Amino acid sequence: MMAEEKKVKKKVKKDINKMIKAKKKVKRIETEEDIVEVKNLLEEITDILGPCVKCGMCKSLCPVFKVLKEEAVSPRGKAIVLSDRVIDKIVFQCTLCKACEKKCPLNIKVCDAIRKSREILVLKGKELPGNQEMMENIRKSGNPFGDYSHLDKDKLYCC
Ligand code: SF4
Ligand code: SF4
């Protein structure tokens, strides 16, 4: 293993350990179908990210990395972590902007891996509270933002 790759993996592991300490309890997957689905998704994620050579060329364009400055949430960090395990803090810290894919010399589809990881988290009941609220609003009122029928429609405006 190249020295640079070893260094990056060590840094990612450090970030991950910090995140795991703050981990919430996860709902267990109960049905056979869900277990099989998760297994399939994990295999698909490994297939997508397996060819990543950890060159880091994608890092400079990632808006999440630019703000958080943590290797684990950079596209390269995500490729390292998600090849091994799906961690919610990593998976949700992505805007799906695809900037990393534009720069990747191997055309690694990081966003596809992120989407599949999110599917796993949903199967495990680890959606973001905002998503749950939005779905509940759609069920109740057909509007992701909730029931606004009591407001004066003439006064509603869009940016
Ligand atoms: S995703 Fe592509 S650009 Fe980023 S580290 Fe892997 S191979 Fe390099
Ligand atoms: S798709 Fe996600 S990982 Fe890739 S550059 Fe955008 S925010 Fe970063």
Q: How confident is the model at residue 99 (pLDDT cuts 50, 70, 90)?
A: very high
Does any domain span residue 156?
no
- For residue 93, how far is its CA from the centre of ligand 2 (angstroms)? 8
Placement of tokens 């060159």 in the chain: 55
Please choose from 52, 80, 102 the residue to mutate so as to test ligand 1's pocket, defined by most ligand atoms within 8 A of CB: 52
For residue 29, give the DSSP letter: P
Cα–ligand 2 centroid distance for 62 (angstroms):
5
Pull the structure tokens for residue 147.
Answer: 């029931």
Residue 105 falls within a domain, yes or no? yes
* Ligand with minimal distance to 52 CA: 1
Q: What DSSP state is assigned to residue 103? A: H
Domain range for 129 = 7-16+29-145
In a domain, 154, yes or no: no
Q: For 22-77, what is each residue's pLDDT tens digit?
A: 555 555 566 888 889 999 999 999 999 999 999 999 999 999 999 999 998 999 99
